[in-house]
Amino acid sequence: MDEVVKVGMADWKITTHPGTLMTLGLGSCVGICIYETKKKIIGMAHVMLPDSLAVRSNSNRAKFADTAIPDMVDAMVLAGAERKNLTAKIAGGAQMFAYTSNSDIMRVGARNADASRDTLRTLRIALIADDTGGTYGRTIEFESTNGALMIKTIGHGVHYL
């Protein structure tokens, strides 16, 4: 039976096969799921903000896309993953509240998704699936067996990437 490891907000975890990573309540946050195709090592980060340099209180590196993803990848490599075999899927980044302002600061979900994509690109990890945006939350489960990402949403059902 797979071990289910819960990933909290502003957190990341890795596990080896057989295993499942799960996080609840992705609204404007983004879940970044990385799969090592040969050894079936998986990682999931639940990031809240795009950029660690934009805030003073940045001691929790797992809170930010620009630091959580590289830290998680380094841990996966230490656990035996090969960088050349890494692929990624992301979900979340919703606009949970309606704002009358067009201010970029209020677009936290879109900025989180963009920062996640940019960081993966910088690390040369192929983003093979993306379920971001919208106005609804998501709960995700990531499987080590084949890298399947299950996305559960209220009002939008369940689907797999």
Q: What is the pLDDT of residues 30-42, one digit of tens each?
A: 999 999 999 999 9
Task: Please list, in sequence order, all residues whose beta carbon lies within 8 angstroms of the beta carbon of residue 65, skipping any fewer than 6 positions away.
Answer: 30, 32, 45, 47, 49, 50, 51, 112, 115, 116, 118, 119
Query: If you average pLDDT over every residue of the chain, what do you get?
Result: 93
**pLDDT, position 100:** 53
**pLDDT, position 107:** 86
Query: Which positions are catalytic?
Result: 29
pTM, rounded to two decimals: 0.94
